[in-house]
Amino acid sequence: MTRSTLKATMRRVYALLGLVLAISLFAKFVDHIAPLRGSGLEAMLKDAYEFLRDMSLLIATGGVAYITNVYQRRSSFVDALKEEWRDIIAAKSALFSYTQLEMPTVEIYLITFCKLSETIDNMRSVYHNVGETGDLVGLYPYAPLHDMRRALQTLDPRKNPQAPDAETRALVRDAILQSFYALRETFLEELDLEEPDHPLLISGGRRAKVAGSTGSARRRQERQRTRQDRGSSSNSHIDQLLAELMQKEEQTAKPWRQPAASAPAVPANGRAS
């Protein structure tokens, strides 16, 4: 179920619910309307109110079940879209890699072409063609995939005995990327994506937290080391190797970690003396 179909379905559900509530409210207070008091319409509305009240549990249960089914269908559709999008990304990556090859083989070309072809055909498991009828094929819903296919076919080794030059491959690569970006801009609209709650929007971002831990965490670490020290090691060489590797790593400067000025030696059991 597409996003537009979901919205249309929910609008119908809300409209029907509003109508039922409006009829119930009108029927509840119809005896307060002088022109209708004692009329046949009043009796009919009162009967309708009693019917709706008696059937309220069934109506509510049916409504909840229907809405649940609608959202389950939407969830299944979104899962299928996500799987198709993964296939599209994999196909784009395969095409991008292919355009980097100076002398691609026929075998590599066929593997790349088949990957893209499968992606194109798998779209039929998600969408109908636009304008498709019993007599008309319709239009493929995401034409950039076929643009990517046609661009790839210009680099078919069977049709071009001579390897394409770097300029030709670069042009094909740019055409593939342009098509992919156009596809991405529209395809992802169906997934109802939201902005992240904690985005990192600056280039060259750095880690905000500094090295260290809470006192309780360090005390817990020390207790674990103490318990381990009470037992004998099955292989002291392994302990020594791991201790040396940890010490070496901690003494190696990284953008997110600066070693202490004078790091203490770490014994084989990993516990600082």
The b-or-e profile of 25-37 (16+ CB within 10 A means b, else e) is eebeebeeeeeee
Residue 123 lies in a domain: yes
Note whether 148 and 180 are within 8 A (CB).
Answer: yes
Average pLDDT over residues 70-78: 83
Q: Is residue 259 part of a domain?
A: no
**Which range is most confident: 72-81, 101-110, 203-212, 241-250?**
101-110
Give me the mean pLDDT over the 222-234 stretch.
Answer: 87
Which token pair is 76? 């299944």
Mean pLDDT across 140-169: 93
Q: How is residue 235 written in tokens?
A: 């292989």
Q: How confident is the model at residue 24 (pLDDT cuts 50, 70, 90)?
A: confident
Looking at per-residue pLDDT, the higher value among 207 and 187 belongs to 187
How many percent of the chain have pLDDT more than 70? 94
From CA 210, how far away is CA 258, in angstroms rounded? Answer: 10
The per-residue pLDDT of the chain, averaged, comes to: 86
Question: Is the model more confident about 245 or about 60?
Answer: 245
**For 80-128, how does the pLDDT look when each residue is reduced to its tens digit (9 = 90+)?**
899 999 999 999 999 999 999 999 999 999 999 999 999 999 998 889 9
pTM of the model: 0.68
The total of structural domains in the chain comes to 1
Contact residues for 158 (Cβ-Cβ < 8 A; gap 6+): 106, 109
User: Which pLDDT score, from 0 to 100, does residue 268 have?
Assistant: 47
Is 8 a member of any domain? no
Q: What is the mean pLDDT of residues 171-191?
A: 94
Q: At what angle do helices 56-98 and 144-153 cross, to 10 degrees?
A: 20
With respect to residue 96, please indicate whether it lies within any of the assigned structural domains: yes
Q: What is the pLDDT of residue 230?
A: 86
Q: How far is CA 79 from the centre of its chain?
A: 8
Task: Specify if 136 maps to a domain.
Answer: yes
Alpha-carbon gap, residue 71 to 34, rounded angstroms? 45
For residue 251, tell me if it sits in a domain: no
Query: Model confidence at 251, in pLDDT bands (50, 70, 90)?
Result: confident
DSSP class per residue in the chain: --HHHHHHHHHHHHHHHHHHHHHHHHHHTGGGSGGGTTSHHHHHHHHHHHHHHHTHHHHHHHHHHHHHHHHHHHHHHHHHHHHHHHHHHHHHHHHHHHTT-SS--HHHHHHHHHHHHHHHHHGGGT-PPBT--SS---B-S-THHHHHHHHHHTT-TTT-SSPPPHHHHHHHHHHHHHHHHHHHHHHGGGGT----SS---STT----S-S---HHHHHHHHHHHHHHHHSPPS-HHHHHHHHHHHHHHHTS-BTTB---TTPPP--TTS---
Question: CB of 234 within 8 A of CB of 269?
Answer: no
Domain presence at residue 169: yes
Q: Provide the pLDDT for residue 101.
A: 94
Give the model's pLDDT for residue 43: 79
Cα–Cα dist 74/77, whole Å:
5
What is the residue range of 180's domain?
79-191
